[in-house]
Each structure stands twice: as C-alpha cells, then as structure tokens.
Amino acid sequence: MASRLYQWLDSRLKLKSLEHTLLDEPVPGGASWIYVFGSATLFLFILQAVTGMFLALYYAPTPDHAYDSIQYIEHEVWFGWFVRGLHHWGASAVMVAVGLHLLQVYLYGAYKSPREVMWMVGVILFLIMLTFAFTGYLLPWDQTAYWATQVGINMMGTLPIIGGFLVRVLRAGETLGALTLSRFFAIHVLFLPAFMITGVVVHLFILRRVGPAGPWDETLAKQKSETFWPRQVYMDSVVMVGIFLLVASLAYFAPFPLADKANPSDHSFIPVPEWYFLFFYQLLKYIPGSLESMVTWILPAGFLFVLLFLPFLDRNPVRRPAGRPVTILAGVGFLLIVFSLLGVSLKNLYAIPKSDPSVLRGQQLFAQHHCAACHRIHGEGAKVGPDLSFVGDRRPDREWHLRHFSDPQSVSPGSIMPKFTMSDQDKYNLSSYMLSLKKS
C-alpha cells in the first residue's frame, strides 16, 4: 500500500529526483561524526519554531498580560511548562550547535574557495540567531527581561550616527513599553523566521551546488567518497535524538523560573544576560568609561567584519590546520579569551546566593497569613500544627500542597487548618516555599 502510494505521488511530483538530490549527494572522504553540527543546528531551529508556535497560542504581547500569560502557560496549560522549558533550553542548545558548526568549518578551512559565499551566509545566519536570542529575552516581561533589554538597547545607542535611530526603532518610542514589547514580538515571530528560512534555503542551495568540503586532507577526500544516505543520515539522526533527549531532560528536571514582573521604577535591579552574552558582559567590567564606546561597537564591528570576510582575508590556499598557523592561533586565542571571561563571569554569578522568586513570594505569604501562629520552622513559630522545617522532604508533591491549601480536609482528614482564600498563583508560590524546606 505504501509502495503504491509512493509510486502514485512520484508519478506526479517526481519524488525520485528529489530523493536523489537530498540523499545521494557524495560526501568526500566518507561520512563522519564531525559533520553532524549543521544538521543538529537545523533540527534545533525547527524545535524552536515548533515550540514557539505553541507558546504563541497563549502568549499576549502586552505589558499588562505578557507576564500573566507566561504564568498561565507554566501552571494552567497542559504540559505548558515543558514546552516552555524546551524552548528555553533549545535556545541555549542552538547557540552551542551554531558555535560548533562554525568552529568545525573554521578548523577544516571549509570557508575557502569555492565556498566563500556559503560561509558568509552562515555568518549572517549566526547573527540572525543572536537577534532571535535578544528579541526573545524581553517577551516574558519579568525584571530580568526588562532590564537586560534596557541595557542592550542603551548599548546600541552608543553607535555613532545610527545609534539614536536604532534606539527609537527598537523602543518604538522614548521609553521601553507596550510598543517595544509588541515590536520585539513581531520581529521574533514574523521577521526573523522569514529571514532565517530564506537564509537556510540559500545556505543549503549553495551546499548542493559546490558540495561538502570533506576532510582537510585533499588526498583522503579524493581517495574515498560515499553518499549522504545511509551512514551520514544515521549519524545525524543519532545526534538529533541525543540532543532532543538532553534538552527534554533539562526542560523536565531544570525548569526556568520567572523573576518578578517587570517594574520600570525599580532601578536597583541588576540584570544578568544569558550565558552566551556573559563573556561580553564581563569584558565591559574591565573597560574604563572613556573606552566604553570602543568595546560596545568598534570591537564587535571589527570582529564581525573579520568573520564575514574571512575567506578573502585568509588567502592561504592550504586547508590543513598545520599549514595555517596564523589563522589557527588567532582562533585559539579568541576562544581562550571568550572562555576565560565566561568562566570568571559564571564564577562571580554563582558566588552570589540566589533564591527562586516564587519561593521568596511564598515566604512572604507565609508571614502575611500568620502561619507561624500554628507552625514552627527551624525553631521559630508555635507548635499547634506540624513542624514544617523539612516538609519538602516529607511532602515532595506540589499537587498535595495545592489541594491542602484549598481544602485541608481533602488530604488531611481531621485537620484543624482552615481553608485559605487566595489566588492560584499565591497557592503556587506558597507551595514553592513549602517544597524548598528541606534538609539539603
């Protein structure tokens, strides 16, 4: 049945020629695990697009409702927390995949003739991915998103000539507000996907025209060749499944909490960017104010210029790393600087104790409702009700706590605890505080 359906479609759509184009492409030197990063990046972009579409069904891009809509996705939508987790961790995974793909192409010298244009399109796709990260960061409309975006927009304002224009375009006004959020949402879900899909199509078209570069050893590349199917497809598929399981595990076991709702009047809040911007965030700490403009725009512009036009700047025809000492040493030096700055920044951040905002709000609710009049926590409070010092170990189920707050008799028959009239969000926050009360 399936064979006849395929034959019927092939007679009308010429599927065999498409199959030949996609699967019978020769891979110089044979299939290799080092070639999987391009397919991994494409897979993660598709994952981001699919999860983003489901999130957009419930998201409201207004300052009054954006934060609440994310809360609704997290706590009310069936598996909404998991989809948001996939989208969050997928964003980090795609940045890693893009970086590894660029690094592999750089190491193998695969940007050299006749693949210069393919490299340049790849760099543009990398910039689009960074823009995805920047525009998506504001959408939750929490304190971190608001103030990190404010800092990012202000940095763009230091650009000469066009800085003021860019700030007005991004903010859509004098301050960061409703039009800013609406504009960022439109850019994130409409403009950037269109640019990305176009760029990916062009990138793959060029790849089909010029073919893969293969290993840097030209002799090895000429000695052996095999088609994309089946071994390279198998390797790519294994990596895709592994990546999905990793991202899904992070989404399940390491949910990403929201900070407090954005408060434009709270100038004491110190934002921290995502990890892939942290090295630049750390670099700015070492730069005196007089040189700040150089670091905020001259240095990045110079780096992007070198990266974009690398095929024309590196005129050495040799692809072997040993035959390109200047290029390889420059790349190693750049990576050492980036990872050193990233390591210092992460060390400083983790040295500061942090609490989940939901836990802090739950602790405040515990005090507001005078729960200490009946319950003791770590020696403080009365002994009328059970000691809650380590209730998170005894009752690790959030659903139990939520039902207990709504109707204590439903889970603890004979309990003297009264029913609490509070919003679902307050119940969730109070349960977060209860779950945090553990021995370790």
Of the chain, the percentage scoring pLDDT greater than 70 comes to 96
Round to whole Å and give the CA distance between 38 and 272. Answer: 30
Residue 132 has pLDDT above 80, yes or no: yes
Higher-confidence position of 45 and 162: 45
Mean per-residue pLDDT, 368-393: 82
Tell me, what's the pLDDT at 354? Answer: 58
Task: Answer yes or no: are the C-beta atoms of 277 and 345 closer than 8 Å.
Answer: no
Residue 271 has pLDDT above 60, yes or no: yes
Instruction: Give tens-digit pLDDT for 251-261.
Output: 999 888 787 88
Mean per-residue pLDDT, 301-323: 91
Q: What residue type is 272 in one-letter code?
A: V
Concatenate the DSSP letters of all residues of 327-387 into one string.
Answer: HHHHHHHHHHHHHHHHHHHHHHHHTS----HHHHHHHHHHHHTTGGGT-EETTEE-SSS--
Tokens of 405: 């707050």
Round to whole Å and give the CA distance between 277 and 274. Answer: 6
What are the CA-CA distances from residue 140 to residues 50, 74, 227, 329, 338 (Å)?
A: 18, 11, 45, 41, 28
Instruction: Give tens-digit pLDDT for 54-92.
Output: 999 999 999 999 999 999 999 899 999 999 999 999 999
What are the CA-CA distances from residue 366 to residues 237, 369, 386 (Å)?
A: 50, 6, 14
Residue 134 has pLDDT above 60, yes or no: yes
> How many other CB atoms are found less than 10 A from the CB of residue 355?
11
Instruction: Give tens-digit pLDDT for 338-379.
Output: 999 999 888 877 665 556 677 878 888 888 888 888 888 877
Q: What residue type is 366 in one-letter code?
A: F
DSSP 253: H
For 189, the 3-state DSSP assignment is helix
Structural domains in the chain? Answer: 25-268 (1.20.810.10), 357-436 (1.10.760.10)
Mean per-residue pLDDT, 320-337: 93
Contacts of 22 (CB under 8 A, 6+ apart): 228
Residue in 226, 247, 297 with CA at minimum distance from that of residue 93: 247
Q: Per-residue confidence at 216, pLDDT binned at 50, 70, 90? A: confident
Concatenate the DSSP letters of all residues of 399-434 into one string.
Answer: HHHHHHHH-HHHHSTT--PPP----HHHHHHHHHHH
Mean per-residue pLDDT, 415-440: 82
Round to whole Å and give the CA distance between 278 and 92. Answer: 13
Tell me, what's the pLDDT at 278? Answer: 87
What does residue 326 show for φ and ψ, rounded to 5 degrees? -65, -45
Residue 230 has pLDDT above 70, yes or no: yes
Tell me, what's the pLDDT at 195? Answer: 97
Contacts of 234 (CB under 8 A, 6+ apart): 31
Task: Answer yes or no: are the C-beta atoms of 139 and 188 closer than 8 Å.
Answer: yes
